[in-house]
Amino acid sequence: MEKQITYCGFQRVVACDEKCSKAWGINSRPKEYLSDDPDDYEYLSDDELPEAPGDPGTYEGGHAKPINQSEIPNKWCVRECERCRIAESRFKIVLPDFSKRRKNIPV
């Protein structure tokens, strides 16, 4: 999905893979720590996880994770969803790949 929105007063494009059933939210997605450093972890892949909860307990601007496709994108999607990206144009968007583990800070 790609959609043009107004974000902080500017025209932007938001995109996602529409796999809401696997969207936990960036603050709730299960992860595995790789060391004692709290910033050294990787997010688990989709295949390692069950379906994400319908309400992961995070909210943005009063918006919860959408419960049906017609609500996409809302504020939760743009600010919290780990599967969603926002950019100035659609040519600059690269969606994350959760088919494998993803480090929180790319190398």
Percent of the chain with pLDDT over 70: 99
Span 16-25, pLDDT tens digits:
999 999 999 9
Q: Is residue 107 part of a domain?
A: no
Q: Both tokens of residue 17? A: 């893979």
Burial class (CB in 10 A: 0-12, 13-18, 19+), 46: middle
Rounded CA Rg of the chain: 14
- Whether 8 maps to a domain, the answer reads yes
In a domain, 16, yes or no: yes
- The mean pLDDT of 58-78, rounded to a whole number, is 92
Higher model confidence: residue 9 or residue 69?
9
Let me know if residue 43 belongs to a domain: no
Q: Can you give the pTM of this predicted structure?
A: 0.87
Q: What is the DSSP letter of 39?
A: T
Asked whether residue 48 is assigned to any structural domain, the reply reads no
For residue 68, pLDDT beyond 90: no
Residue 69 lies in a domain: yes
Amino acid identity, residue 54? G
Tell me the residue range of the domain where 85 lies: 2-29+53-99
Q: Cα–Cα distance between 74 and 83 in angstroms, integer?
A: 13
Task: Count structural domains, the chain.
Answer: 1
In this prediction, residue 65 has a pLDDT band, given cuts at 50, 70 and 90, of very high
